[in-house]
Every structure is written in C-alpha cells, then in structure tokens.
Structure 1
C-alpha cells in the first residue's frame, strides 16, 4: 500500500514525563506549496482516534484551507497509530508500556517539524477539532510570537472535570474486557472496542439529534443501523492501546501545565497574542459552551462564535454541511483580517 504521508524523525525526544523516546516518529501530510516568504502556513492537528485523512473535509479549492493559497500541515498526534504509538513502538515502550504523552509534548514535536524541517518562523493559522482544538490552544500559548491566528472548534483549552469523567466512562468498558489482558492482548478486544462506541454514541451527538433522527441524513436506515454502522465500525478498527494512550493525553490536557506557565491557567490564556475565533458547538455535551465562553473571555483577542447546531460535538466533524459552512466561513473571515 502506497503511503500518502511523510515521517519526521528528529531522533531522541524527551517527554514531559522525563521519559525519552529513542526514535520518535511524527507522521504528517502537507497540502499546497510553501511560498518563498514562508508566510502561508496553516497547521491543522488531528483529533482523538483520527488520522490526517479525517481532516481533509475542511481542505479544498475555494475553501478557507485552500491548497492553492496556503501550505497546510496536518500532523498526526502521538498515539494515533501513524506517529509514535503503542501499536508501532518497539520494546521497551510497546503496547501498554508506551509512556504518557501530553498535549504540550505533541505541540513541541510539531514545532520541531515546522522549524527544523521547513524553516518556518510564522504560522498564519492553527485550527483543529476536539483533541485538535486542545492542540490549537497549546500552540497559541506555547508560541505566542509565532502564531498569528487560532481557531479551535468543539474543544477547550483544558479538560474540565466533567469532561475528564466522560473520558473515564469511555475507557471503562475496554479496561473491563478480559481479552484486553492489561494491554498485552494477542487479538483485538472486540467486545470492549464495540462498547466504547456505544458509550460514545450518547455523548457525541445531542438529544435533539436523536429525537429528530438526523442519522437518516447520513444514510442510516434506523437507530440500530446508525449505532452499528457509525459507532461500532469506527472503534472496532482502532488499536485498543492507541485509544487508551490518546484518551490519557486528552484527560490530562491543560495549556498551562508546563514550566512556562506553571499551572496558571488564566495567565496562559491571557498570554495568547493570536487573533482567535472560538467555535464551540451549542449542544456539545462534554466540551461545553459554558467552558468555552469562560476561556474566550480571558483571551485578549478572541471572538466567541458558537456553532448553532443540534449535531453536538460532531458539529465539528465535517458530516453536516450547514455546520461545515459555518466553520469554513469563520475561518475565511479570520484569515482575511
């Protein structure tokens, strides 16, 4: 199978935990051409359980992320199966032995890719959904002089307690599956993976989405068809240890949890110099609009623009054309400033 992405291998990479990965790999794909001034850069990190191709719905001619205008870099998050992950890392850091990775670690490695591989000094925009939104905020806080604009959607600057609890509920059925075998499984723990999908199904979309049977718009013939076809299939093809690694990354997310800000969350938000458009979904059940509104109020150059949608967290997934247009229109306006 022909690989449609590239690998950045800077050598040793020391994580926030103090553990050094001896041969870290960052998988990434680029779209468009870097201009001579290196001023047309957009960074678009991946979300939980996603890989670069899952981001392509927001990239295209005539869209805000137009490869004819911009050089778009989609870095795959650590743990997602393409970049260094439990499933592809040799001993002693294979499978359940893979060390904890933070959002800060992801962004530091991405920064190395941009500066060392491409010589990039300025970023026109960082944007992302869900776990990608957490990385977007981190970019703005970690490199305030480098990032000119940020546009996180359906994601917050840290994982608030209720969202942490939600992630615990996602993990629980997998950890309870005897075939998971403490991460040393020889065959996929299918029952646990399927159960993750069923748990997530009640959180990914809003009550109104189900009440109005919007899954018919996605081609499903009924509720059970949607649960099996959309949710079961999504998680059954994932590696269990990879999922758990990314969940842990998401659970511990906090843009101030580093030496630069030493846990001062408000200071970190106030230090973001980028022009920002914050786009939570009105009906997101775990990255809530209230948390996003609080965070945007602390940012000096932020505009708060909720996605008025009943598609919940998945308003930011590119599967509802109305929501996609809203996100794209706001990105166009932000890039035009």
Structure 2
C-alpha cells in the first residue's frame, strides 16, 4: 500500500497525465480536451498579449439560467485533467473520485469546467494548451522567453472568466481547487463575489506571506543557477534548456509537497551499486528515485513557465490591502479543507483562514483530508470527503 501511495504522489507531481495509483471509482465519463482562444488580453500589469490559448474540458450540461456551473482550478504542476478520461483505458483525472455522475460534484446536476492556466508548467506534455514564455511573440517571430508579460494570479481568473462567458455561464454554484487551485478559488471569490454561491479551497491559504514568498524563491533558485538558463533565452536552435536546474527545482517541490511516511519505504538504503560511506558522490535510494522522477517531469515542462508560475503565486490577492479586505468581498458559503501534515500550506494557514471568514460573518465549514502524503492528500485523497462535499453543495 505504501508503494502505491508513493507512486500516486509522484505521479501527481511528476506526470499529471497519469492517474493516481490509489483505489477510486472507475471513471464513467469520457471527456474531450478543447481549446479556448481569446485576443487582445490586457494583463493586470498593463501589458497586452495579442492572442491567448488555453485548454479546457467540461462535463455535464449547463442549464438555461446558466447558474449550475462549477469551475475546478488546478494546482501548481497540474492541468485541466481533473476528472474523466480522454479515452477508454486511459488514466482518470486527479479528482475523478469526487467529480462525475452521481459523485460528490455530480455532473448529472452540475456543468463542470476545468481549464489549463496561462504559463502552465506542462507545456511540453502533448496535452496541455497554454500561452506563456514558450509561445511565439508575433512582434519578433521568436518565443517570448522572459519578454512575456508578468502574470498575476488574477490574470488566471480573468482568462477563465472569458472562457466561462463564452460558454454562457452566468453564475458559479461552486469554485474549487487544490493548492494553487485553492488560491485561484479564493481569488475568484474576491474578484467576482456576486456570481459565486460556494467556495471550497483545498490545501490552500488566504495569505501568501513572506515565508511562503521566500519558499517559492527557493523553489526556483536551481533554474536561475543552471548555466543553460541564459536569462531565459534558451529556445534558439542549438541551445540546451536548463533541464538540470528545472529537475532540481521540481525535486524541491516534490519533497515539500509530501510527508515523511510517503518516502519511508526507501529506508536508509544506498542505491544499487553505490556506497555513500566510501564515495561522496554515491547516492541513497531515495535520492536516486527523486532524481529520476524529477528529471522525467522536467523533460515535459519548461523552466521559464516554472518561474512565471512562481511569480503568479507570489502575486496572489496582490490587488487588495490585506487578506481581510479581499475575503470581506465574498458573499459565498465556504468549505475549507486542509491536510494536517501539509508542509506547503500548513494547517495553521487554513485554520487562520477559517477564523478570518468567521470574523467576517461568512458561513464556513472545515474538514481535514488525511493520509501519508502531506500536501498531496488534497490532490489524491479526497474520496473520503465525498459526503461532506455533497452536503455542502446541498446547502
């Protein structure tokens, strides 16, 4: 069981197109990856992006009033594949256990949308559709690289809003997501309070404080130190991308996003054929495993996109004087879900959010998602909360 859970955690960070290897209901819906395009988008920083493309998927049917919609926002290394399968025999989305016909977020009742973000990390995986530094700058005919405009988390929401408008959505019965998806859900609640009935942030925070900002600086540091980074200009023919630095960055994320039991199966064993007691360059088995997983992940990702995602997170709720000012705009019911062993958005981030919402007089419930995976419990371990989620949607 521990091996299966660790594999689930690794897949959640190292290959989002793969299904978590834990028990969950078989997916009963086939979903289609679609593409939304919009033009003339002006970022919150005032720059114009001539054309934006993002991928998305839907399930269920939008009602005539356009008010039975649910948007699922994804985590840092995630994409739109939150539920369903793209074809028979292919992996299910990471929240498929709670989204689908008859499930907690019932697609017989709700029209559920999940989209890729701008500057999505998975730009090279053959499935994700996104616009970012790797995209072509029409003014130069070359990839934008670091000339791409800075993206704030509010920009994710504004592009999603254009997508929802194009689909005829007028009101959201629920906005929800895990980790960075939780931050997006909160940003939605502040930006468009009049159109949201319920908010369910999972393993998130209403405060991106200096401690969190500093941790994300540590996440991205190996990329900037890679000699191939070249200030983000590595797309030209003959240049090598900073794959090693990106892999090291992803390794930091992978370890922080798990908890001690997730890696316990490795013990203190040396990697096969290695002896750390005798040679300083030899590796332990856990190091070898993380190196291989992170390198595989880096090969379908982009280093500049990683940096832009970091900045978007650091700019969470940046348009408001405080978290209190942002959350005071919400008119929704809230259900906050935390992992007690989270090493990214620790439990106190979530309990502080609940306390703030209660001070503001907002209806709020709270639950814990448990398991051996730390932060990732909220990505691959949501099935036990299905009844709580179903009850929340009925209130």
Q: Aligned match of 2:111 in 71, 94, 103?
A: 71
Cα separation, partners in 2 of 1:184 and 1:276, compared to 1, 3 Å: same
1:29-178 alignment to 2 at 5 Å?
29-54=57-82, 56-58=93-95, 59-80=99-120, 81=123, 82-92=129-139, 94-115=144-165, 117-178=166-227
Structure label with greater radius of gyration? 2
2:336 aligned to which of 272, 278, 301: 278
Q: TM-score, normalised by structure 2?
A: 0.75
Alignment size in residue pairs = 318
Checking the alignment, whether the CA contact within 8 Å between 2:82 and 2:114 is kept in structure 1 is no
Q: Does the CA contact (< 8 Å) of 1:125 and 1:149 recur in 2? A: yes
**In 2, are the aligned partners of 1:196 and 1:235 still within 8 Å (CA)?**
no
The answer (yes or no) to whether the contact 2:187–2:316 under 8 Å persists in 1 is: no
Identify the residue that residue 368 of structure 2 maps to in structure 1. Answer: 306
Aligned equivalents of 1:183 and 1:39: distance in 2?
43
Superposition pairs for residues 225-240 of structure 1, below 5 Å? 226-240=289-303
Q: Pairwise CA RMSD of aligned residues?
A: 2.2
In 2, the alpha carbon distance for the partners of 1:8 and 1:54 equals 17
Which structure 2 residue ranges, 5 or more long, are not aligned? 1-30, 84-92, 124-128, 268-284
Gaps spanning 5+ residues in structure 1: where?
A: 215-221
Q: Deviations over 1:300-323 (max 9, x none)?
A: 1121222233311111222xxxx2
SS at match of 2:146: helix
1:297 and 2:355 matched: yes
Tell me if structure 2 keeps the 8 A contact 1:34–1:40.
yes
- Structure 1 residue 125: Cα displacement: 0.6
Whole-Å separation in 2 of the counterparts to 1:91 and 1:182: 21
Give 1:9 shift.
2.5
Match of 1:199 among 240, 252, 270: 252
Q: After superposition, what is the alpha-carbon deviation per residue over 1:59-79, rounded to whole angstroms, capped at 9, x for unaligned? A: 333322333322111121110
Higher helix share: 1
Q: CA deviation at 1:234?
A: 2.3
Q: Following TM superposition, by how much is the alpha carbon of 1:269 offset from its aligned partner in structure 2, in angstroms?
A: 1.3
Give how far 1:107 is off. Answer: 0.8
Give the Cα separation in 1 of the matches to 2:46 and 2:258.
38
Contact 1:269 1:295 in 2 (8 A): no
Aligned to 2:390: 332
Q: CA deviation at 1:119?
A: 2.4
Cα distance, 1:105 vs structure 2:
1.3
